[in-house]
Amino acid sequence: MSERAAPFYCPYCGDEDLRPSEEGHGSWECGACNRAFQLKFLGLLARGVSRRADFSAPKANALEKGSLQRADNGGDELI
């Protein structure tokens, strides 16, 4: 099993001076702004595209007519 990716930038100041924290898994400390933060995977988002039942129209026409719509709520809801 491979190790998880480390963050490249502090989410508060954007600096790259990050070190793993002793607080536990996923905890990081920024040497530039002296803040500590924790990263946590929450889950996968349900996303998709809803289309009309009539697939005979070319894609360009469907886009012009506005028949393609997002089937999600913008990613605000977790499953």
Query: Which pLDDT score, from 0 to 100, does residue 3 have?
Result: 65
Mean pLDDT over 29-45 rounds to 92
Given a cut of 70, is residue 38 above it in pLDDT? yes
Helix (H, G, I), strand (E, B) or coil at 52: coil
Question: Cβ distance 37 to 63 under 8 Å?
Answer: no
Strand, coil or helix: what is 2?
coil
Distances (CA, A) of 30 to 5, 6, 26: 16, 13, 13
Q: Cα–chain-centroid distance for residue 71? A: 17
Does residue 16 or residue 58 have the better pLDDT?
A: 16
Query: Does residue 20 have a pLDDT over 80?
Result: yes
| pLDDT confidence tier of residue 31, bands split at 50, 70 and 90 | very high
